[in-house]
Amino acid sequence: MDRPTVLSIAGSDSGGGAGIQADLAAFTWFGTHGTTAITAVTAQNPEAVRAVVALEPGAVQAQIEAVFEAFTVSAVKTGMLFSAPIIRRVAACLRQHRPNGLVVDPVMVATSGARLLQPDAVAALLEELLPLATLITPNLPETAVLIGRPIGTPDEARAAAVALAQRQPGLWVLVKGGHAEGPEAEDFLAHEGRLWGLRAPRRAARTTHGTGCSLSAAIAAGLALGQAPLEAVRQGKAYVLGRLGAVARVGPAAWALSPPEALPLAAIHVNEYRP
């Protein structure tokens, strides 16, 4: 039996809820084989990041090369990259190997507030990595950094998605609406002058730690399975919604997202906006 391989280039979460650990859970759930290149080791739990130790860029490159040497990599996702030197080394590797699908989750700040991307690394992300991406998945604060202006309304989020997509031919941009308010969470997906809104009911959960990682990993798995980007995004959003509905207690005051029993695809409503 053939199984597509997906590579996650991201940080390790010692609490198991986000980062590489969440990515592997998503890859497995969708029936793909997960491989990893760890960029940084974090000492964290659902409440706080206690420490971050970044790996040397050469060590990150060695992991990526080892994976491409032995596996047929169908898609790649990047998460926490931490520094400009790591980003430049990752980009060089991806330019060499040219995976069919690259999902870039521009992780900047943890749910707890800890910075996971150094300020001087944003320019490297924009200049080195985004030109290689198939799809990027910024949340609203990350979108504001990438676009260079604040975002306070759905109209501004939609305009930002379109503006980011116009920076590069063929790029898909998913601006996530989880940080907004209201009974529904709407994400905006832009591509070559077209714009879709993907709505889902907002679920009150004990934790949202790892939702961004889970979404981008699920989208990468969908691309590896041959899905079109819009389909992969809808499936990924359903996967996160399912995880939010399957939160489990894992400590005296700690909760974690669990794998869903099934994908609640019917709860994801797709609407195409007029340009």
Host H or E run for residue 244: helix 229-244
Q: Round to whole Å and give the CA distance between 185 and 58.
A: 39
Q: Output the furthest CA–CA distance in the chain (Å, rounded).
A: 49
Selected catalytic residue, list 208, 236, 237, 242: 208
Nearest to 65 by CA among 41, 35, 102: 35
Selected catalytic residue, list 19, 212, 222, 236: 212
Q: Is 93 a catalytic residue?
A: no
Residue 97: count other Cβ atoms within 10 Å of its Cβ: 15
Selected catalytic residue, list 17, 207, 213, 237: 213
Do 66 and 40 contact (CB within 8 A), yes or no? no
Rg (C-alpha) for the chain, rounded Å, is 17
Residue type, 261: E
Q: Is 212 a catalytic residue?
A: yes
Nearest to 178 by CA among 119, 114, 105: 105
Q: How many helices (H) and strands (E) does the chain have?
A: 8, 12
Selected catalytic residue, list 137, 176, 207, 237: 176
Q: Is 176 a catalytic residue?
A: yes
Selected catalytic residue, list 210, 222, 236, 242: 210
Q: Is 208 a catalytic residue?
A: yes
Q: Is 28 a catalytic residue?
A: no
Mention every residue, 6+ apart, whose C-beta is less than 8 A from residue 96. none
Q: Is 213 a catalytic residue?
A: yes
The DSSP code for 203 is: P
Selected catalytic residue, list 32, 36, 207, 211: 211
Active-site annotation, residues? 176, 208, 210-213
